[in-house]
A and B are shown apart, each in its own frame.
Chain A
């Protein structure tokens, strides 16, 4: 007999091993590093400091991080569903929760390495080349500091994790690799553009601009951007803050991740029964 944690751990190890044996992911990480390095170089190089580097990277990060997260996530659960291996795994004593958690935790670890790694390397480059006063570990506002860049990376990971779990969840309803990719792309576009467009629409409809700080935090991108402004960029330049409600933004990022996990678990656990329910409905309509 195996404990629930054994199942999570065994699935986690296999998934991490699968990612490690997929060279395409490493290529993507190198590509991300090249893009990030290029953006910092074009923005004035590492000598400008950590916060200017964050300013240069913020907008690209809002697109590139979700993109890589979707690439990591869109086949995470779909692969086993499509190959039929999930039917085999279901005969073993591992629950749907354990299976999904094992897969997604491994993919999040991969996300930390493949996305966090290039950002960390760019941070190291800035540290090595920045002006002397950027080496101060600031404990108060108004000073550029490596701590601010570490905060930025710490926000990149949950931001990517939200897209990872959402793309994995939507892929469980895909019927082919192509449709899994299309659904992942839809999640990407919906997340990257949907939240901001919804805020703009509400403003155009007459909503109070004072409520933007609250509503912007509801989308993953808005929450991430708000937190970066509040706790990275704003620390150096605007002590008052007020870009976003921190609690709401953190809850938003965590909430999107949890939503993806719950949806994925439901799809894995109850997916076969949905088809049966449809068949029964069809049968009762015919009668």
Chain B
């Protein structure tokens, strides 16, 4: 994993209806897999939407080392939203073919990379939930973007599919910054190089996984999560995350309102790449 920051959030705030869902978040991500974990409503989907350019910040800025999501010359950011959005009626190959044609990619190769080579001629609506997510991961990595954003790629999947999804994400992380939100802490433990723990719209912990585990004296990411995000004073989110979040994750992460770490209103945490 490289220390070079491929994407940086600088004091980013996003509010909905006047309620901040993310509040003064600053962090950087470099090559490798960065897992974003946190309770429902902590701002994970909004954070990932900001990185993918699907959500605009109300304050602060998102910067990229190699152009952003709106780059017109090449694809710099790949994105799989929480709800896989592909059109029914098209086969997996046709669906990926559409996106591949925009970046000059190889749909057959991308399907094979995620283990969907045999399902290439199946229509999207005939694919299982796991296969749709794998198709989404294949789409997100087309064009070899420097930053790949995957919003809960394992949600609703069986253990085998979860493992496949994370393995596919980890493969993409060899050269790119892969940012994955997930509740599967065991898979995060197995595959993530770095971890961001969100709590009430703020960064509660961020850094290399091993370093965070050492700092908090815990054995795994589940322990880290309990130590950092699972405090007894955590209020339940007003709106839970889940399947079917709307465009740009706008409805996914609303919740805690003004909540946050009381000791710092605009946490600036050294980034994953120790920015």
Contact = CB atoms under 8 A, between A and B. Distances in A.
Interface of A: 1-2, 4, 6-7, 10, 13-14, 17-18, 21-22, 79-88, 90-95, 272-273, 275-276, 279-280, 282-283, 286
B98 A10 contact: yes
Given A6-B101, A13-B98, A87-B81, 19 more contacts: A1-B74, A2-B104, A6-B102, A18-B87, A22-B89, A82-B247, A84-B54, A85-B86, A87-B52, A88-B79, A88-B85, A90-B54, A91-B53, A91-B145, A92-B99, A279-B15, A279-B16, A279-B18, A286-B18
Contact of A2 (B15, B80, B102, B139): B102
B102 A279 contact: no
A2 B247 contact: no
Contact of A88 (B15, B57, B103, B139): B139
Nearest to A80: B85
Given A82-B247, A276-B57, A276-B58, A91 B87 contact: no
Contacts of A90: 53-54, 69-70
Interface in B143-184: 143, 145
Interface of B: 15-18, 49, 52-59, 69-75, 77-81, 83, 85-87, 89-90, 94, 98-99, 101-104, 139, 143, 145, 246-248, 250
A178 B16 CA distance: 24
A3 to B, nearest CB: 10
Contacts of B78: 91
A272 B55 contact: yes
Contacts, number: 107
User: Which of B53, B56, B143 neighbours the largest number of chain A CB atoms within 10 Å of its CB?
Assistant: B56
A186 B145 CA distance: 42
Q: Determine chain A's interface SS by DSSP, over half rule.
A: helix
A279 B75 contact: no
Nearest to A94: B102
Contact of B58 (A22, A87, A279): A279
Given A85-B86, A86-B247, A276 B56 contact: yes
A17 to B, nearest CB: 7
A91 B77 contact: yes
A93 B103 contact: yes
Contacts of B143: 92
Given A84-B246, A273-B56, A2 B85 contact: no
Contacts of A283: 15, 18, 58
B102 A7 contact: yes
Nearest to B246: A84
Which 5 pairs of residues, A with B, have the shortest CB-CB distance?
A87-B54, A85-B85, A83-B85, A84-B85, A92-B102
23 contacts: A1-B104, A10-B98, A10-B102, A18-B87, A80-B85, A83-B87, A83-B247, A84-B246, A84-B248, A85-B85, A85-B87, A86-B247, A88-B79, A90-B53, A91-B145, A93-B71, A93-B72, A93-B73, A93-B75, A93-B102, A276-B57, A280-B59, A283-B15
